[in-house]
Structure 1
Amino acid sequence: MSDETSLSLFALPPGARRTTLPTRRGEFAALEAAPETPVRGTVLLLPGYTGSKDEFIPLLRAVTDAGYRAVAVDGRGQDATTGPDEESAYAQEALVADVLAQAEALAVPVHLLGHSMGGQVARAAVLTDRRPFLSLTLMSSGPAEVGDERAFLLKLLLDALATMTMQQIWDVMQQLKPSATTPADTELLRQRWLRNSPVQLRVAGTRLLEEPDRTDELAAVTALPVHVLYGDRDDAWAPDLLADMARRLDAHRTVVADAEHSPNLQQPAATAAALTSFWDALPAAGDDGPPAGSTRRS
């Protein structure tokens, strides 16, 4: 799931570029940013429902300044990554296969981060094959189905997708909650919305209403460091629920102050600092043992 921002969403920082990531599962639209200094690690970033790779732009400069190569992708049927009209293409198992292929294409172990729905896909990818991943960050991504408020809005969207065009839905969304962006960015957001696959939105939206709690399964993957990061005013999953999930995972936990469901957009500096601090504290690939779980508030 995704929130808009008053900042320009599309201006890339120095060193970042729009590209494609070729994989054995096809090509995925991507943003890539690399540091000028030697690379300390590679991060694979998965966006949330209705989101895109562009929502990670506010993090890229700080992440690369800390020495990390960042690769953010549009999932199948999201924004600039096209997808078929078959529902099976967007089943969670298919999206997991995409993530594992993306990690394979990067050719190094990666720190995996998923925002919201992307976090649930990332979790499923780790549970399918933990080996490509150095760590997992669940950003504003809860243990199971979304909370009641977001579930109500999601059901409205699913009903609309059954009877309305994407343009008609955009018009209604703008009437209810206009984009808090410049007119130029609002137009780019409209174009991004229109590129989304309605089939992907239906399948993924239904999954968000039905996602089971797999926290105990993830907790059993004891060799993988996990970071749970969320805003103190998250409205998709209650902060108390996210805190309990972090406790059950014995995970590093960051609560980003003055942020809602998209701390990457609403508090990018604090979010990037928390992410890079977490990665910095991890053993290098091949070292023994993850650091103990801890809690911090940004």
Structure 2
Amino acid sequence: MSTPRFLTLPPGVRSVSIDTAVGTFAALEALPVSGVPERWPALLVPGLTGSKEDFIAVLQTLAQAGRRVIAVDMRGQYETGGPDDPAAYTCAALGNDIDVLAQTVAGDEPLHLVGHSFGGLVTREAVIDGRTKFASYTLMSSGPAAIVGPRARFGRAMLTELPEHGMEHLWHQRMEPEALAAGVPDEIVAFLRKRLFSNSPVGMDVMTRQVLSAPDRCDDLAQVGVDTLVLYGEHDDGWPPEMQAEMARRLDAECVVVPGAAHSPAVEAPETTAAALTGFWNSAEARLLS
């Protein structure tokens, strides 16, 4: 579970709705406070129990480099509605949403794509299918295949408990105690509860099954040839850091380890994360334009 540090939108950031051919998506849009976007845009995709708010701490800094930056709720997450059809929440189906979103946001321009955690498993589907021109691709605290370790155990517990006890049980027995133990402020705890109960139960079930069973697609991704960054916290408790480092090697990708961060670098070390993304994006653009 990603825990935003704050919910107040900084200057240059606003809530928007993005209408596409596959539905309307809730998003946060960041633009430079002064001047106009001169660089290619970026699309940020959150993890399984996350939302666009997980990127609030980096949005203004990223936009100030001269970009339009969009963070979205995926289908069935928080403020983006979703159907009761399980087929809508597979990695392939959600990846198709990302293709359409990217084309809607960027038009004919290349776009920088970032997928956090489960969002990495989703976004790589859009990169692999080759229908959208991406300027670069970042896997943030994601992995080559199904999640492992403590977060895998949490996912399996969710699949067992949700059908029998529902969201209330998940919140009161797991997520709320975790947030309180971490000293999360009351207003953020209230937001986390609201976000959890706004998610599609069908979507949560299917997406959890997807993150626990995802195949290794590194070979497919490596063949695409898009500039790739693997970024993760040194204390990541999702995919182990050594597994992500090996994934970066297999992808011939740049690799950035964020000191002091765990599974949510954009929340836990926003300035370091934003600087790494901006540097990588600028270099990728220079290579494509040379």
The verdict on a shared fold, with TM-score over 0.5 as the criterion, is: yes
Identity %: 43
Pairwise CA RMSD: 1.5
Q: How far, CA to CA, are the matches of 1:83 and 1:113 in structure 2? A: 22
1:100–1:132 Cα contact (<8 Å) kept: no
Richer in helix (by share): 2
Aligned to 1:296: none
The equivalent position to 1:225 in structure 2, one of 227, 252, 256, is: 227
- After superposition, where does 1:44-193 map in structure 2 within 5 Å? 44-106=43-105, 107=107, 108-129=109-130, 131-174=132-175, 176-179=177-180, 180-193=183-196
Alignment counterpart, residue 9 of structure 2, candidates 12, 28, 45: 12
Distance (Å, rounded) in 1 between the aligned partners of 2:215 and 2:253: 19
* Deviation at residue 167 of structure 1 after TM alignment: 2.3
Distance in 1, matches of 2:171 and 2:68, equals: 34
Task: Name the CA shift for 1:152/1:190 in 2 (closer, same or farther; >3 Å).
Answer: same
How far apart, in 2, do the equivalents of 1:66 and 1:93 lie? 32
Distance 1:220 1:250 in 2: 10
Alpha-carbon distance in 2 for matches of 1:189, 1:270: 25
Instruction: Read off the aligned partner of 2:95 and give its amino acid letter.
Output: V
In 2, distance between residues paired with 1:88 and 1:245? 28
- TM-score, normalised via structure 2 length: 0.94
Q: CA deviation at 1:153?
A: 1.2
Do the aligned partners of 2:31 and 2:60 also contact (CA within 8 Å) in 1?
no
Aligned with 2:104: secondary structure?
A: helix
**SS of match in other structure, 1:260:** coil
SS at match of 1:181: coil
Deviation (angstroms), 1:198: 1.0
Residue in 1 that maps onto 2:35: 37
Contact 1:158/1:205 (<8 A) preserved: yes
Give the corresponding residue for 1:257: 259
Instruction: Tell me how far 1:174 sits from its aligned partner.
Output: 4.4
Q: Distance in 2 between matches of 1:33 and 1:64?
A: 6
Match of 2:239 among 212, 237, 240: 237
How far off is 1:285 after superposition? 8.7
Partner residue in 2 for 1:27: 24
Q: 1:134–1:285: 8 Å Cα contact kept in structure 2? A: no
Q: Tell me the amino acid that sits aligned with residue 148 of structure 2.
A: G
Counterpart-to-counterpart distance in 2, 1:88 and 1:156: 22
Q: Say which SS state the counterpart of residue 165 (structure 1) adopts.
A: helix
Contact 1:17 1:31 in 2 (8 A): yes
Measured at CA, do residues 139 and 174 of structure 1 come closer, stay the same or move farther in structure 2, by a change above 3 Å?
Answer: closer
Change (3 A) 1:3 1:286: closer
Q: Deviations over 1:238-257 (max 9, x none)?
A: 10110010011110110000
> What letter is aligned with 1:54?
E
Partner of 1:294: none
Question: 1:165: how far off?
Answer: 2.2
**Number of residue pairs matched?**
284
Residue identity matched to 1:241: M
Instruction: Flag the 1:263–1:286 CA change in 2: closer, same or farther, 3 A.
Output: closer
Give runs of aligned pairs for residues 195-206 of structure 1, distance below 5 A.
Answer: 195-206=198-209
Cα pair distance change 1:156/1:251, threshold 3 Å: same
Q: Which runs of 4+ in 1 moved over 6 A?
A: none
The 3 A distance-change label for structure 1 pair 174 and 92 is closer
Asked whether the 8 Å contact 1:139–1:228 carries over to 2, the reply is yes
AA of the residue aligned to 1:198: P
Specify every segment of 5 or more residues in structure 1 that has no aligned partner in the other structure, as ranges. 289-298
Give the residue type in structure 2 aligned to 1:167: E
Shift in Å at residue 131 of structure 1?
3.4
Structure 2: which amino acid aligns with 1:43?
Answer: A
Distance, in Å, in 2 between the alignment partners of 1:284 and 1:204 is 36
Distance 1:234 1:174 in 2: 18
Q: In structure 1, give the amino acid aligned to 2:166.
A: T
Q: What amino acid does structure 1 have at the position aligned with 2:280?
A: F
| 136-145 or 34-43, which deviates more | 34-43
Counterpart-to-counterpart distance in 1, 2:140 and 2:156:
23
Amino acid at match of 1:155: R
